[in-house]
Structures are given as structure tokens and as C-alpha cells.
């Protein structure tokens, strides 16, 4: 594989551009066009779609790392299901983050209000994604994966990722065979990737676990979404997977989060069933079995108090939430830091509290952690404050607030001046994480019809689905659900595809 990814001629680049563009549009590997490409006024009816940025070739990824990430997903699902059940621990986390973080403070208030009156739904659905980069240390030992973050809310790209794997598979059977510089040194090892079907299967499980409706109405699933979503086809693929099922038939509706209170109501009985009336068909009512949130993860989704009322309204309803407030808080970077802070005799790991599994799986989880430190006044926190304020040491770190969705982190030399610019009392709401530096890989990215060739950094995400009962603590369903490979130019710090820096990719295992 030494000639991989293949060197291509300009003519071959043009040919691949044509083929990928058409395949992507034909198979829904698409987004709504970014305003820089098609200004809103040029498409007032919103009829256009454009191909998602992708790599021309699947990036080489160490098989041993891929297998490690797949193998540990079941334990991660269980870990986050268990943490979601421990509201004492999560209350402590929220306290540590502190009231300087209004968003987490408001979110926690929603849980406290519902706890006070009593939850009517004890089952929970997690559609998780654990993100990793390959870490290779200088000793020459085999590469390992290190976790970047664990997502418990609105983990995206599962709908597009299986399509990307199919695109690269198609190219490997057609176009790659015709490339001039391709030696016959071996075929690509492309793992199966059924992320869209896998995530849909998780939602289906929760739909069945909800049981029979308690009102005269038929059950449904709601995708709770942001207005003006550009990454809509990613979500549509999941909807179509769910709707294609014969048994049970699942009605699926998209509801903008901002219209929650307008189109849903709670049944007037102690069961608090969530009732949905589709605005296009007001004579129909559905009992909502599952609310799948592709929104609600950041402050911009809560512009006013009525948005928080909407979240409270959903949280107290009988619908199975993906996620609940508890599971959303379990996904904060602060929790990840507490799990990953190096153990000391006075500060043992919390992992054994949350895993029924043997010590091997705890050890396997620990192997995926990189050092993460608090910025509080504990011993570890004080050490981290030194690193974060030092103009040299800070270069190996990233500073993260308790936010999701990309674009919020502070990297390397920007850390010391940033910390100086905020009150010291706010520092504990951040965590300090060692940067993972994956081995260099080359690839070509096709973005908006143009090719960008060069060094890239790959980030692997493994999807997991989990249904559990908060009260009985039983895990009712626990599956690994396919993967995502996101690739960015090695000059870019952030990797979000929707944010415009990264692109979709798939793995060829080496
Ligand atoms: P978000 O919740 O905003 O997605 P992440 O923790 O995933 O936050 O960070 C965003 C991006 O920053 C990641 O996708 C990755 O490209 C980069 N990044 C984050 N943490 C690290 C790290 N420890 N080492 C290297 N890159 C990182
Ligand atoms: Mg991320």
C-alpha cells in the first residue's frame, strides 16, 4: 500500500470530481448549499442541495485502532447509561462547573423541576458517538486510539456516513481500477458501515419499549430539529430508514424545537403522555413514544424563557427522550475529565462504580483516555493552571468549555491570554486536555467542486445505541452502530463538517 492514496493526474482529478459529484447527488450524500456558494436570495424556495465535502479516497486507518474502538463501544454505552442514573454525581458535576455557566445551570434546573414532581418515564434512549484520534508515541509501540470526546446529544453524520462508505466502495470497484499510478499492491479493506440503519434500529427499540399507547391515539416518533438546518439530509436518511420498516410501522415527524409548545400538549392525566398534532393535518393526533433531539445542545437554541419551558414540557412528559437532561449532562466535557483525570491513591478512578463488567473492560476504557485536567483548586487543577498559563507548556493542550457543536475550543498559545481575559472564578467551568497528534496521512478533499490536496487529520467516531431503565437500572438494549470518519486539513484545529472545516471520509484498514 506504499503508493496509497494513489497519486492522480489533473485529468484523473477532473474525472473523479465528476463521478463523485453525480454519485453524491444521486444517493443523497448532500447538504443544503452554504450561503457562500448559494446566497439565500438565490434560492428563496429552498429547492437546492449540494454534494457534501468528501475525500477522493478512503483514508488509511490502523486496523488495530479501528478494532479497539469498535470493541470498547458496548462498555462506553453502559458507562454513560450508568452515569445518567447517578443524579448525585451529576449534581456534583454541575456544581463544579459553577454558575458562571448559565446554560448548564438552566439545564440542570429543568431536571430538578421534573424530579420534584416525579418522572413518569423511566426509560431512556441514548444515540451516542465516541470520537477518537490515533495516537502514536515515540517508543514505536503499536498505535492506539485516544478519545476526543463522547457525544450524548444530537451526534450527527450517521445518516451520511454509511453513504460515504458506499461511495468509496463504488469508486474502488470502478474508478480506482483505471488510475495510471495504481500498482496492484493489494485491494482496499473497507469495513461495512451501517450507521444509518444502526441508529434507526436504536430508535425503533425505544419505540417498542414505550409499550402500547395509553390514549386512543397511534404512537409516533418526533425528530426535534433546529430551524434552517443545512445538514438535513443526514437526518432524513434516519427518518427514511425508520419509515421503511414494515413491522412496526413508525410514523415520524419533524418538529422545530421553537414550535414545541404550539404543536404538542400533555394529556390531562397523571400519565402525562405527549400528544402531537401535525399542523398540516390537525384532525390527527399522535401519542409521542420517542423524542429524538437534533437540537437543544447549546445556548443559541434557547433564546428566551419559553424555549426552557419547552424543554421542561418535554422532560416531564411520558415520551422516551433521546437524550434526557441527565444524559445530556453526562455528556459534558467535565464528566469526561473526571473519568480521565489520572488516578492517585487519594483520588481513585470512578469507573468501577459504573461498570458491572470485569476489570478488563475498565482497563480497555482507560486505555482510550488521554490526560484531561480540571482548572479548579484541587492538586490536579493547580498543576493544570500552571500548564495553561505557561507560554511553552500550553502548546500541547486544548482548553474546552462545556459546549457542543464545534468552534468553542481554545488551542495552544491562545490559552494563556484567554484565561487572563476571564475572571479566575470562571476557570473551573473549563477543562484542559492534552492534544492528540495523529500520524500524518495524505489525501485529497473535494469541496464545492474544488480539490485540496495535502496532509490530513482523521477523527474516527463510533456510534452506539442504548436503551435503559433509570429506575430498575436494567440495560434493555446495547449495540454498536457503525462508524464515522471525519477528515480535516492538517492546518485546521476544528474538524466539524457542518462548520465547514472538515469533510466526510471512510476507512481503509491497514
Ligand atoms: P465539540 O463538542 O465542539 O465537537 P470537541 O471536543 O469534539 O468539541 O472538539 C472539536 C474538535 O477539536 C475535534 O473534532 C478535534 O478536531 C479537535 N480536538 C478536540 N480535542 C482534541 C485533542 N485532545 N487533540 C486533538 N484535537 C482535538
Ligand atoms: Mg466533537
Q: How much of the chain, in percent, has pLDDT values that exceed 90?
A: 88
**What's the whole-model pTM score?**
0.97
User: Do the Cβ atoms of 29 and 19 come closer than 8 Å?
Assistant: no
d(CA 193, ligand 2 centre) in Å? 20
Cα distances (Å, whole numbers) of residue 203 to 180, 198, 251, 293, 320: 45, 9, 12, 12, 10
> Distance between CA atoms of 159 and 199, rounded to whole angstroms?
8
Take atom 22 of ligand 1 and give the residue whose Cα is closest.
435
d(CA 131, ligand 2 centre) in Å? 7
Q: Which residues lie at CB < 5 A from ion ligand 2? A: 149
408 pocket-lining for ligand 1 (C-beta < 6 Å): yes
- Per-residue pLDDT at 1: 53
d(CA 435, ligand 2 centre) in Å? 14
CA-nearest of 62, 53, 13, 15 to 441 is 62
Label residue 331 exposed, middle or buried (CB < 10 Å: 0-12, 13-18, 19+): buried
Atom of ligand 1 nearest to the CA of 434: 23
d(CA 404, ligand 2 centre) in Å? 7
What are the sequence ranges of the domains in the chain? 59-159+195-370+436-444+454-509
> Distance between CA atoms of 131 and 460, rounded to whole angstroms?
6
- pLDDT tops 90 at residue 504: yes
- Per-residue pLDDT at 495: 65
402 pocket-lining for ligand 1 (C-beta < 6 Å): no
> Distance between CA atoms of 12 and 182, rounded to whole angstroms?
12
- Per-residue pLDDT at 82: 97
- pLDDT tops 70 at residue 281: yes
Mean pLDDT of 114-135: 98
Q: How confident is the model at residue 228 (pLDDT cuts 50, 70, 90)?
A: very high
Take atom 7 of ligand 1 and give the residue whose Cα is closest.
149
User: Do the Cβ atoms of 397 and 432 come closer than 8 Å?
Assistant: yes
399 pocket-lining for ligand 1 (C-beta < 6 Å): no
Q: Would you state the cell numbers that stand for residue 456, as one nine-digit string?
A: 490530513
Mean pLDDT of 62-66: 98
Up-side HSE of residue 1: CA atoms within 13 Å toward CB?
15
Q: Would you state the cell numbers that stand for residue 307, as one nine-digit string?
A: 424555549
Count of C-beta atoms within a 10 Å radius of residue 351: 21
Q: What is the best residue among 130, 149, 432 to mutate for testing ligand 1's pocket, by most ligand atoms within 8 Å of CB? A: 149
- pLDDT tops 60 at residue 429: yes
Average pLDDT value for the chain: 95
- Per-residue pLDDT at 143: 95
- Per-residue pLDDT at 432: 98
User: Do the Cβ atoms of 446 and 53 come closer than 8 Å?
Assistant: yes
d(CA 409, ligand 1 centre) in Å? 7
- Per-residue pLDDT at 185: 56
404 pocket-lining for ligand 1 (C-beta < 6 Å): yes
Take atom 3 of ligand 1 and give the residue whose Cα is closest.
406
Q: Which CATH code fits 59-159+195-370+436-444+454-509? A: 3.40.50.1760
- pLDDT tops 60 at residue 351: yes
In tens, the pLDDT along 444-468 reads: 999 999 999 999 999 999 999 999 9
Contacts of 2 (CB under 8 A, 6+ apart): 185
- Per-residue pLDDT at 186: 67
- pLDDT tops 90 at residue 311: yes
- pLDDT tops 70 at residue 259: yes
Tell me which H or E stretch contains 496: none
- Which residue would you say has higher pLDDT here, 55 or 437? 55
- Per-residue pLDDT at 239: 98
- pLDDT tops 60 at residue 499: no
Take atom 12 of ligand 1 and give the residue whose Cα is closest.
494
Give Cα 490 distance to the centre of its chain: 21
Atom of ligand 1 nearest to the CA of 404: 2
- Per-residue pLDDT at 491: 81
Q: Which residues of 429-451 are buried (b: 16+ CB within 10 A; e: fewer)?
A: bbbbbbebebeebebbbbbeeee
Q: How much of the chain, in percent, has pLDDT values that exceed 70?
A: 97
Atom of ligand 1 nearest to the CA of 131: 7
Q: Would you state the cell numbers that stand for residue 438, as one nine-digit string?
A: 495523529
Q: How confident is the model at residue 6 (pLDDT cuts 50, 70, 90)?
A: confident
- pLDDT tops 70 at residue 500: no
Q: Which residues are known catalytic residues?
A: 129, 149, 151, 156, 333, 400, 404-405, 486
- pLDDT tops 70 at residue 184: no
Q: How confident is the model at residue 182 (pLDDT cuts 50, 70, 90)?
A: confident
Mean pLDDT of 227-256: 96
- pLDDT tops 70 at residue 475: yes
Q: How confident is the model at residue 497 (pLDDT cuts 50, 70, 90)?
A: low
d(CA 149, ligand 2 centre) in Å? 6
Q: How confident is the model at residue 404 (pLDDT cuts 50, 70, 90)?
A: very high
Amino acid at each position: 500500500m506504499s503508493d496509497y492514496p494513489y497519486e492522480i493526474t489533473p485529468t484523473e482529478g477532473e474525472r473523479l470530481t465528476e463521478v463523485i459529484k453525480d454519485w453524491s447527488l444521486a444517493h443523497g450524500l448532500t447538504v443544503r448549499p452554504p450561503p457562500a456558494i448559494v446566497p439565500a436570495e438565490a434560492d428563496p424556495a429552498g429547492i437546492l442541495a449540494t454534494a457534501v465535502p468528501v475525500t477522493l479516497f478512503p483514508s488509511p486507518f490502523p486496523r488495530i485502532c479501528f478494532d479497539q474502538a469498535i470493541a470498547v463501544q458496548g462498555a462506553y454505552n453502559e458507562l454513560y447509561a450508568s452515569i445518567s442514573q447517578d443524579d448525585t454525581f451529576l449534581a456534583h458535576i454541575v456544581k463544579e462547573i459553577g454558575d458562571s455557566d448559565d446554560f448548564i445551570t438552566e439545564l440542570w434546573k429543568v431536571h430538578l423541576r421534573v424530579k420534584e414532581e416525579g418522572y413518569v418515564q423511566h426509560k431512556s434512549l441514548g444515540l451516542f458517538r465516541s470520537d477518537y484520534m490515533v495516537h502514536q508515541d515515540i517508543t514505536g509501540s503499536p498505535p492506539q486510539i485516544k478519545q476526543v470526546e463522547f457525544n450524548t446529544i444530537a451526534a450527527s453524520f450517521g445518516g451520511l456516513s454509511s453513504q460515504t462508505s458506499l461511495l468509496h466502495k463504488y469508486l474502488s470497484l470502478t474508478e480506482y481500477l483505471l488510475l495510471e499510478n495504481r500498482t496492484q499492491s493489494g485491494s482496499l479493506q473497507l469495513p461495512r458501515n451501517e450507521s444509518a440503519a444502526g441508529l434507526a434500529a436504536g430508535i425503533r427499540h425505544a419505540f417498542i419499549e414505550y409499550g402500547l399507547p395509553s390514549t386512543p391515539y397511534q404512537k409516533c416518533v418526533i425528530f426535534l430539529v433546529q430551524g434552517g438546518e443545512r445538514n438535513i439530509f443526514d437526518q432524513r436518511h434516519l427518518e427514511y430508514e425508520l419509515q421503511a420498516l414494515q413491522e412496526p410501522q413508525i410514523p415520524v415527524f419533524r418538529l422545530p424545537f421553537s414550535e414545541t409548545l404550539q404543536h404538542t400538549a400533555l394529556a390531562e392525566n397523571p400519565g402525562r403522555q405527549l400528544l402531537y398534532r401535525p399542523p398540516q393535518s390537525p384532525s390527527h393526533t399522535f401519542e409521542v413514544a420517542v423524542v429524538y433531539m437534533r437540537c437543544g445542545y447549546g445556548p443559541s437554541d434557547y433564546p428566551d424563557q419559553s424555549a426552557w419551558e419547552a424543554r421542561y414540557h418535554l422532560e416531564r412528559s411520558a415520551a422516551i427522550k433521546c437524550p434526557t437532561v441527565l444524559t445530556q449532562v453526562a455528556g459534558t466535557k467535565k464528566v469526561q475529565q473526571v473519568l480521565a483525570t489520572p488516578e492517585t491513591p487519594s483520588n481513585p478512578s470512578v469507573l468501577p462504580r459504573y461498570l458491572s463488567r470485569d476489570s478488563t473492560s475498565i482497563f480497555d476504557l482507560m486505555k482510550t483516555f488521554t490526560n484531561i485536567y480540571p482548572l479548579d483548586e484541587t492538586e490536579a487543577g493547580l498543576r493544570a493552571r500552571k500548564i495553561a498559563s505557561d507560554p511553552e507548556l500550553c502548546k500541547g493542550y486544548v482548553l474546552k468549555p462545556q459546549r457542543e457543536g464545534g468552534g468553542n475550543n481554545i488551542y495552544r498559545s491562545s490559552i494563556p491570554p484567554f484565561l487572563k481575559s476571564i475572571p479566575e472564578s470562571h476557570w473551573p467551568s473549563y477543562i484542559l486536555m492534552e492534544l492528540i497528534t495523529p500520524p500524518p496521512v495524505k489525501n485529497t478533499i473535494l469541496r464545492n467542486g474544488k480539490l485540496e490536496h495535502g496532509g490530513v487529520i482523521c477523527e474516527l467516531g463510533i456510534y452506539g445505541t442504548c436503551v435503559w431503565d433509570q429506575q430498575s437500572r436494567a440495560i434493555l438494549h446495547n449495540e454498536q452502530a457503525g462508524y464515522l470518519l471525519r477528515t480535516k486539513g492538517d492546518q485546521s484545529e476544528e474538524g466539524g463538517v457542518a462548520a465547514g472545516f472538515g469533510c466526510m471520509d471512510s476507512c481503509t484498514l491497514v
